[in-house]
Amino acid sequence: MNKQLRNAVIAGNWKMNKTPEETTALINEMKPLVKDADCGVVLCVPFVDLDAALKAAAGSNIKIGAQNCHFEPSGAFTGEVSAPMLKAMGVEYVIIGHSERRTYFGETDVTVNKRTLAALENGLKVIVCVGEYLEQREQGITEELVAMQTKIALNGVSAEQLKNIIIAYEPVWAIGTGKTATAEQAGEVCGVIRKTVGKLYGEDAAKALTVQYGGSMNAKNAEELLAQEDVDGGLIGGASLKAQDFSVIVKAASK
Ligand code: PEP
């Protein structure tokens, strides 16, 4: 992290977990534990939990996000939720392009770009996920792949809109597997993302960009990962469902 240059943000991704009632209880448990955070704290919850999450987090330093949004504002897209709908609820963040959306729901670099643009146009802050599969890492194409995913995701994003973007480097082989990238691997690829953004938007914009690492980040390994200059926070899956563990990660980012 380099807190002189940019904001550190710890975001939880609850995935498909928790009912509204459980959401209220978990956020109420988290609030006192993270209240003194010297970093951004975001919880991205299932659509049906957004209302409960917004109410439980009101007046606290916890910001609420969704885990996806469609690129059209409305229409015949059964099962989808649009960016204006999220904005109207008071949601502040949205994750776009999580590897589980890419792997199981046909999300492509192009739809990630379209969803990102729609979210930004509607005043949401976007956590864009990029990352390689294990075979791609073994083939030695991680850097090119992540640079390409980043460029496509940002196609058409203005320099002003970039200020509302966080990019999360999430190696797919590390998500939910207990296998964490080494701190060096995480730092290296987060650095590649920053360089890619630098080529597109200039040095100052790249320096100010928050780049998170995600992939089995937990209470034990967070400090080492966050010690990397280019790792400005984390996108946390499993550990964000446990108030204590999540708060330890928030504390590691608050140092
Ligand atoms: C994620 O869902 O983005 C994630 C990183 O999950 P986990 O922390 O469980 O690997």
Considering the candidates 70, 92, 98, 100, report the single residue annotated as catalytic.
98
Q: What local confidence, expressed as pLDDT, does residue 184 receive?
A: 96
How many domains does the chain divide into?
Answer: 1
Note whether residue 62 is domain-resident. yes
98 is catalytic: yes
Q: Is the CB of 236 under 6 A from ligand 1?
A: yes
Angle of helix 50-57 relative to helix 20-34, nearest 10 degrees, comes to 30
Q: How would you class 135 by CB atoms within 10 Å of its CB: exposed for 0-12, middle for 13-18, buried for 19 or more?
A: exposed
Note whether residue 3 is domain-resident. no
User: Distance between CA 249 and CA 227 in Å, rounded?
Assistant: 12
Note whether residue 2 is domain-resident. no
Q: Is the CB of 13 under 6 A from ligand 1?
A: yes
Q: Is the CB of 235 under 6 A from ligand 1?
A: yes
Instruction: Give the chain's end-to-end CA distance (angstroms, integer).
Output: 10
pLDDT digits (tens, 9 = 90+) for 39-80: 999 999 999 999 999 999 999 999 999 999 999 999 999 999
Contact indicator for 191, 2 with CB cutoff of 8 Å: no
Note whether residue 4 is domain-resident. no
Note whether residue 21 is domain-resident. yes
Note whether residue 13 is domain-resident. yes
Q: Identify the CATH number of the domain in which residue 244 sits.
A: 3.20.20.70
User: Distance between CA 122 and CA 82 in Å, rounded?
Assistant: 10
Note whether residue 154 is domain-resident. yes
Distance from the CA of 157 to the center of ligand 1, in angstroms? 26
Angle CA 195–201–207, to nearest 5: 55
* pTM (predicted TM-score): 0.97
The H or E element spanning position 165 is: strand 165-169
Q: How would you class 104 by CB atoms within 10 Å of its CB: exposed for 0-12, middle for 13-18, buried for 19 or more?
A: exposed
pLDDT digits (tens, 9 = 90+) for 75-108: 999 999 999 999 999 999 999 999 999 999 999 9
Q: Could you tell me the residue range of the domain that residue 48 belongs to?
A: 9-253
Residue nearest to atom 8 of ligand 1 (CA): 237
Ligand 1 closest atom vs CA 15 = 2
Note whether residue 1 is domain-resident. no
> Coil, strand, or helix at residue 120?
helix
